[in-house]
Amino acid sequence: MKLSVCVILNLDPSADTWDLSSPLISLWINRFYIYLGFAVSISLWICVQIVIKMQGFATVLAEAVTSLDLPVAIINLKEYDPDDHLIEEEEEPFESSSEEEFGGEDRQSLNSIVDVEDLGKIMDHVKKEKREKEQQEEKSGLFRNMGRNEDGERRAMITPALREALTKQGRGACYKHTFYGIESHHCMETTPSLACANKCVFCWRHHNNPVGTEWRWKMDQPEMILKEAIENHQNMIKQFKGVPGVKAERFEEGMMVKHCALSLVGEPIMYPEINRFLKNLEPVTQLYVSVDASTKDSLKKIDRPLFKDFWQRFLDSLKALAVKQQQTVYRPTLVKAWNMDELQAYVQLVSLGNPDFIGVKGVTYCGESSASSLTMAHVPWHEEVVQFVRELVDLIPDYEIACEHEHSNCLLIAHRKTVLGETSGRGVTEIQWEEWIKKRLISQARWLISVIPAH
């Protein structure tokens, strides 16, 4: 006899064991859908915020572009009509690199809409045009005195040495005062030519000045250059009026220029009227020649000259010093690892011109430049400059170390004939202004006697 067993499962939701109507259990069972809903909601919120931010970014970007004097407008891409060919219209003006092609008509096309994707091209062209304009302006007024340029450059002329000369605090004097007795408040630095025929790696102008092998720029008259140079020197001194520590008598002294250094920038003798200019500055007391290296290869590497016959021109310049009546100066600039291992070659150069002085100076690093590979690693320590000078003097018996200016990282070597016979208490290398003026007057008197016919 078989027994039939019937098993009844109680699936009543109201049962105590499986109470599926409980809110907590329902949430737990359906948690995946809840999480998904939260994720979708957050994603939508983020998208909305991005859209809002992008609209605000477009407004901010438009304001920034407007501040650059560029026409700009914000467009809604939903209303954008591809048939307008906006991109083609905007890209076309910038394909040309000449200023003539980018003229008034093309500028009018910019007054419509500037596509953000083309903004980089626009800015590149604007910067290039600005650079070309600045270079053109610099060339057109090239030979005004440096002080006439921008106010920032005029302020750059106010050195600690000048401040020391006006206050007489006894510190920070220029090397020219230590070497030659030239006080900074009497010294006018200028140049009749901003142009040069070299691209020296240590150029403190970072190669912003024009270069060339011949004169091809506007030329100012020498009288005007000198007049405005003196005015700029006096205006620079006037900036110290009322400054605490400035002595009244030295302030008045500074208004009188007693010395002019034509070594500010560029190559002065490139100026076509250099002889007329120098006649207004007589007496000429010292002639300098930059001796940036002692071999042809190293000079080419450091000065990067434009003349193909640069080495012969350099040697001829040194030979010319030997017959000059003025005091003559070699000015070597030491660049570590480039020109400090050529002592014997320097000795040969000294024998060519027999200069009265040799002012040896370590190179000054004026900051990074895309046109030069010079770094701080090329700047010799002062101890290294001193060691170089000592070794050089040992090889040229007619010379001796005269003085040192550690702050400027330079030393002065003097020929023995220059320092012999000096009276006690006087600087052995100082320029004797009265003697130079007397010598000049005697020279002029002899010239007059030679040209006036005898009766």
Residue at which a domain ends, from 259, 284, 309: 284
Same domain, 215 and 340: no
Same domain, 376 and 257: no
**CATH number of the domain that 176 lies in?**
3.20.20.70
Same domain, 226 and 178: yes
**Whole-number Å distance between alpha carbons of 34 and 36:** 5
pLDDT at 34: 82
**Whole-number Å distance between alpha carbons of 432 and 11:** 123
pLDDT digits (tens, 9 = 90+) for 189-219: 899 998 999 999 998 877 788 899 999 999 9
Residue at which a domain ends, from 260, 284, 308: 284
Q: Is residue 334 part of a domain?
A: yes
Examine the pLDDT at 275 and tell me if it is beyond 50.
yes
Q: Which two tokens mark 210?
A: 């024009």
DSSP string for 83-97: GG-HHHHHHGGGG--
Same domain, 323 and 418: yes
Task: Return the percentage of the chain with pLDDT > 70, whole number.
Answer: 62
Q: Is residue 400 part of a domain?
A: yes
Same domain, 274 and 381: no
| pTM summary value | 0.61
Mean pLDDT taken over the chain: 75
**Whole-number Å distance between alpha carbons of 220 and 183:** 29
* Number of structural domains in the chain: 2
Q: What share of the chain is helix, strand, coil (3-state, %, to 5)?
A: 50, 10, 40
Q: Is residue 55 part of a domain?
A: no
Nearest alpha-carbon partner for 364 in 245, 210, 201, 250: 201
For 163, counting Cβ atoms within 10 Å of its Cβ (0-12 exposed, 13-18 middle, 19+ buried), the class is middle
pLDDT at 301: 94
Q: Is the CB of residue 278 less than 8 Å from the CB of residue 190? A: no
Examine the pLDDT at 114 and tell me if it is beyond 50.
no
Range of the structural domain that residue 374 is part of: 286-422+430-450
pLDDT digits (tens, 9 = 90+) for 419-442: 654 433 334 566 665 665 565 556
| More confident: 38 or 334 | 334
Same domain, 229 and 368: no
Q: Is residue 86 part of a domain?
A: no
Examine the pLDDT at 171 and tell me if it is beyond 80.
no
pLDDT at 105: 40
Residue at which a domain ends, from 284, 300, 334: 284
pLDDT digits (tens, 9 = 90+) for 246-257: 888 989 999 999
Q: Is residue 277 part of a domain?
A: yes
Same domain, 335 and 276: no
Same domain, 248 and 335: no
pLDDT at 411: 96
Same domain, 179 and 300: no
**CB count in 10 Å sphere of residue 410:** 24
